[in-house]
Structure 1
Amino acid sequence: MSTSENMVKTDRDPRLYNADLAPVKSEHRDWSWLNMSTVWMGMVHNVVAYESAAGLMALGLNAIQAIAAVGTAYFILFIVLWFNAKAGTKYGIPFCVLIRSSFGVFGANLPVIIRGFIAIFWFAVQGYAGSQAINAIMSTLWYPWSTWTTTLLGLSLNGWLSLGVFWALHALVVSHGVHRIRNFELIAGPLVIIVGLIATIWALGIAHGFGPIFAQPSKLHGMNGMLTFAIGVTGMIGIWSTFAVNIPDLTRFTKSQKDQVIGQLIGLPITAIVFTAMSVIVTSGTIIAFGKPIWDPVNLLKAINNPAITVLGGVTVIIATLSVNVAANIMPAAYDLVNLFPKKLTFIKAALLVLIIGLFFAPWYWFQNASTIFKVLGMIGGLLGPVTGIMLVDYFVVNKENYDVETFYMYSEEKDGKYGIKTNGVYALLIASVVALSGYFVPWLSIAADFSWFIGIGVGASLYWWFSVKWPTPYGVANQPTHLSRVEESAD
């Protein structure tokens, strides 16, 4: 080991650094645009996204408007993801390390804990939804399974067994780290698309076209229609606004900026529009087949009542839910836990710990009141909008796309202050969060709740820029060209 390399490793604070938090070496950044696109395909194709068109149409949008709302929302989200991914791609470091620039090496724990909480919560909710597909498959293939309905802690025995099997599948995928996740997503994303195409062909055949849903006129007109469309767009953004914060967790492994941009463009807005159109077409076909629209894919499988289709469709739902849970929930939560306990946890240990913590959220109780789930998630999403705005301003405006990465792994009371906290980021987050969430607590501002993410990102970005102008701090800013080569050389 060279003297310079030994010096770098010695200078790094063990409370801030381990191999999983270190910059990824150039030769290990092997994710292409294809890997990024299939990861997004796997995440977009989930039960919540499938049913989201129903929520849009419940607002009064017709089928075409619902698809247009999805396209608009995901294109806006793509732009934010594109730019917030650039630092992670350039330096090969995750969100929990990048955020140290704007919050300080220990102040960063505030947004990290918020992001980790919502990731584990989402994992638990999605995991329970996926376990229902296992329950449906087993009840179809083996009748005694359906009779195991004794309840324990609010969940039936067959529900517990299904949950246990699904948790074990998650453990299998994450047990060999990020590269196994990449390989799993490479298969899962396209597979779900293929099955979706088969279901779409079935629906087109049974309805002899696009079906009755597409024949329904819009109930929205004028300014009221435009406002409702905007609310629908914001709601769709809310599903993935949390991932806008930690997209560097994925793009740190990509080969180039071009790969992350093209991969996300194909995998997010394009795939999302296609997938939403599929879900609307299939649901339209269910009106002809069963006399009513069925938006829940598991309930659709039960209605078809064909063992072969139930198994094939159930496996697809399982794979789709695994895809989104592993990449969008377990992965960021694991990095966040590693950031909090770098001396104790590796990525794999943290990922397995996420599985255990997720059980304590008891997601089967939350499913009894779905509106509560989305209210809680919407409020926490309102907290993450400011974090996204702060990250963008910090990288592009304050630091001019130039970080001294080594400072993110070091702490000294003289340089970072007694507690290692940058108050500019903390104050901007706290104030912007109060403003973004005001609509949930002040009746005459209730309309603001529907736009909490936009409000949060705008106010957070503006405040952080203003604080940085008024009270500039040198932390994390490289006056000379960044020491990226030294960082890569010393990374494990």
Structure 2
Amino acid sequence: MAGASADPAYGLDFGTGAAAPDPGLYNEDLAPVPASRRDWSWVNMSTVWMGMVHNVVAYEAAAGLMALGLNAVQSLAAVAVAYVLLFLAMWFNARPGTRYGVPFCVLIRSSFGPRGAQIPVVLRGFCAIFWFAVQGYAGSMAIDAVLGTLFPAWAHLTTPILGMPLKGWLAVAMFWVLHAWIVSHGVHRIRNFELVAGPLVIVVGILATAWGLHVAHGPGPLFDQPSRLHGAHAWLTFAVGVTGMIGIWSTFAVNIPDLSRFVRSERDQVIGQLVGLPITAVVFTAMSVITTSATILKFGHPIWDPVALLLALHQPWVLLLGGATIIIATLSVNVAANIMPAAYDLVNLMPARLNFRSASLLVLGIGLLFAPWLWFKDADSIFKVLGAIGGLLGPVTGIMLADFYLVRRQHLAVAELYTYSGRYRATEGWNFTGIIAFLLGGTAALIGNVIPALSMLGAFSWFIGIIVGASAYATLAHLLAAPEPNASRRVAGDAA
């Protein structure tokens, strides 16, 4: 793209006399998606979310909440509150993506500067690749379990290689190839895959729920268990559960513009997220509780792990159908929630060398370097690392919201997001307002992990990070406000 002044096919018009896009900030994958190419309807947006919330972590979420002492109804209420709050954050943070057609890694330049933006972009990319590796390995375990049941000889492939048996490597290779096939034709193949994957998982979930209702002759024993908590302790535990549920998707609240930039209207974006996020998540969690209730009556103890449940049923056809569903569900969440944002982040780092397809394949390779099979031996370490990173991304969400709604008043000079000389350049490309707000918000979000006396704050790190990050950014931006560019430049920028 070196030397390019504009690319009308991608909706970018710099106007007469404006600076050309810098090749270090621009290529076709980072360019605004023009209105003619924004063809995702609310159905596409909702099925993408369906595919993401239907995963093993979400299935087992109710188990974690009930382990805290909440009963089934309280757990469902906690899930509902968490996903409604997430929906609100993602709705507002998705709007600039829908309005201007640009991804997160470009939007963040408004508040951090074109060079300072690399800080949150690299942080989000690291987290996405880490989650991809963890989810990818979990999916490969489902492949291993299915093949081990269908083909007895599979269980004998136990030669250890770099800490993992041969059959594990073969399962990982199969799962990685499936990922590569889905992302090989870009975002539109991802959209089409999610259009099938999301509803398919719902259908299988309905079948599992019907089985559970039949075995338990109703909602089941889990719904009969009373809460073990009362009074203030119950409310505090409920709040901790809500925050924990939000933590699963807090990182995606940052880069929701990566998806919303393809949606054809604000109405489609809102309806799609409403159907796909809070509504589907609550229904899916209820399905998991009912199905697990049936396992108490059938096996004498609850089985929350869907792979373990499939193995316990000893029905090859059920194992095949259920295993395939788990694999598809894991593929679905991994592609949309992890590979896609990580690919955009890598493209942002090297726009002259990478496009979305090559960056997606690079994510697959980097994911193996994380050696997730070794991390699984100490699962607590995974969530400590990812929890800390997620806590740092809460302030980024708050800064993005404050920048777009309070500072920019929902107006961006899009063309100037692609140059080092525009109104967003700040100090040589570094906007210290955003960086300082990020440091303050990150410190507040993670201080509970450092000071034992404040450990309780760690349960609310996402909320603290958003509030402190947004407040600090809005305050500093007001105190350090620069003169507004003249009207002609603003109109030209907004028109792009």
TM-score range, shorter chain: over 0.9
Q: 1:414 to 1:62 in 2, by over 3 A?
A: closer
Post-superposition shift, 1:481? 2.9
- TM alignment of 1:335-414, pairs within 5 A: 335-412=344-421
How many angstroms apart in 1 are the aligned matches of 2:402 and 2:230? 37
- TM alignment of 1:133-144, pairs within 5 A: 133-144=142-153
**Alignment partner of 1:264 is 2:273:** yes
Post-superposition shift, 1:2? 10
1:298 corresponding residue in structure 2: 307
Post-superposition shift, 1:289? 1.1
How many angstroms apart in 1 are the aligned matches of 2:16 and 2:310? 60
Post-superposition shift, 1:303? 0.7
The residue type paired with residue 366 of structure 1 is W
- TM alignment of 1:209-220, pairs within 5 A: 209-220=218-229
- TM alignment of 1:144-293, pairs within 5 A: 144-293=153-302
The residue type paired with residue 255 of structure 1 is R
Post-superposition shift, 1:417? 5.4
2:3 corresponding residue in structure 1: none
**Alignment partner of 1:99 is 2:118:** no
Q: Name the TM-score, length of structure 1 as normaliser.
A: 0.96
1:314 corresponding residue in structure 2: 323
The residue type paired with residue 92 of structure 2 is F
Post-superposition shift, 1:387? 0.2
**Alignment partner of 1:438 is 2:447:** yes
Which stretches in structure 1 are left out of the alignment for 5+ residues? 488-492
1:480 corresponding residue in structure 2: 490
The residue type paired with residue 23 of structure 1 is P
Q: Secondary structure at the match of 1:18?
A: coil
How many angstroms apart in 1 are the aligned matches of 2:23 and 2:388? 34
Q: For each residue in 1:7-62, what CA deviation from the matched residue of structure 2 results, as whole angstroms up to 9, or x when unmatched?
A: 68971100000000000011000000000000000000001111111110110011
Q: Is the 8 A contact 1:439 1:446 kept in 2?
A: yes
How many angstroms apart in 1 are the aligned matches of 2:181 and 2:7? 38
How many angstroms apart in 1 are the aligned matches of 2:309 and 2:231? 36
**How many residues are matched?**
486
2:431 corresponding residue in structure 1: 422
Q: Is the 8 A contact 2:129 2:367 kept in 1?
A: yes
Q: Is the 8 A contact 2:93 2:257 kept in 1?
A: yes
Post-superposition shift, 1:413? 9.3
The residue type paired with residue 307 of structure 1 is P
The residue type paired with residue 393 of structure 1 is A
Q: 1:2 to 1:375 in 2, by over 3 A?
A: closer
Q: Secondary structure at the match of 2:491?
A: coil
Q: Is the 8 A contact 2:94 2:256 kept in 1?
A: yes
Q: Is the 8 A contact 1:416 1:475 kept in 2?
A: no
Q: Is the 8 A contact 1:91 1:484 kept in 2?
A: no
Work out the percentage of aligned pairs sharing the same amino acid. Answer: 62
How many angstroms apart in 2 are the aligned matches of 1:30 and 1:474? 38
The residue type paired with residue 325 of structure 2 is T
Q: For each residue in 1:225-256, what CA deviation from the matched residue of structure 2 results, as whole angstroms up to 9, or x when unmatched?
A: 00000000000000000010000000000000
Q: For each residue in 1:243-287, what CA deviation from the matched residue of structure 2 results, as whole angstroms up to 9, or x when unmatched?
A: 100000000000000000000000000000000000011111111
- TM alignment of 1:8-87, pairs within 5 A: 11-87=20-96
Which deviates the most, 150-159 or 32-41?
150-159
Q: Is the 8 A contact 1:188 1:319 kept in 2?
A: yes
Q: 1:474 to 1:193 in 2, by over 3 A?
A: farther
1:490 corresponding residue in structure 2: none
Q: Is the 8 A contact 1:20 1:347 kept in 2?
A: yes
Q: 1:270 to 1:240 in 2, by over 3 A?
A: same
Q: Is the 8 A contact 2:412 2:494 kept in 1?
A: no
Q: Is the 8 A contact 1:405 1:482 kept in 2?
A: no
Q: Is the 8 A contact 1:234 1:450 kept in 2?
A: yes
Q: Secondary structure at the match of 1:386?
A: helix
How many angstroms apart in 2 are the aligned matches of 1:185 and 1:369? 32
Q: 1:93 to 1:2 in 2, by over 3 A?
A: closer
How many angstroms apart in 1 are the aligned matches of 2:478 and 2:464? 21
Q: For each residue in 1:326-377, what CA deviation from the matched residue of structure 2 results, as whole angstroms up to 9, or x when unmatched?
A: 0000000000000000010000000000000000111111111222222222
The residue type paired with residue 20 of structure 2 is D
The residue type paired with residue 58 of structure 1 is A
Q: 1:475 to 1:286 in 2, by over 3 A?
A: farther
1:132 corresponding residue in structure 2: 141
Q: 1:393 to 1:436 in 2, by over 3 A?
A: same
Which deviates the most, 149-158 or 395-404?
149-158
How many angstroms apart in 1 are the aligned matches of 2:108 and 2:272? 24
Which deviates the most, 395-404 or 5-14?
5-14
Q: Is the 8 A contact 1:294 1:300 kept in 2?
A: yes
How many angstroms apart in 1 are the aligned matches of 2:406 and 2:298? 56
Q: For each residue in 1:89-114, what CA deviation from the matched residue of structure 2 results, as whole angstroms up to 9, or x when unmatched?
A: 00000000000000001110000001
Post-superposition shift, 1:473? 3.7
Q: For each residue in 1:304-323, what CA deviation from the matched residue of structure 2 results, as whole angstroms up to 9, or x when unmatched?
A: 11111111000000000000
How many angstroms apart in 2 are the aligned matches of 1:477 and 1:150? 69
Q: 1:271 to 1:474 in 2, by over 3 A?
A: farther
**Alignment partner of 1:468 is 2:439:** no
How many angstroms apart in 2 are the aligned matches of 1:62 and 1:305? 30
Q: Is the 8 A contact 1:404 1:477 kept in 2?
A: no
Q: Is the 8 A contact 1:24 1:92 kept in 2?
A: yes
Which stretches in structure 2 are left out of the alignment for 5+ residues? 1-5
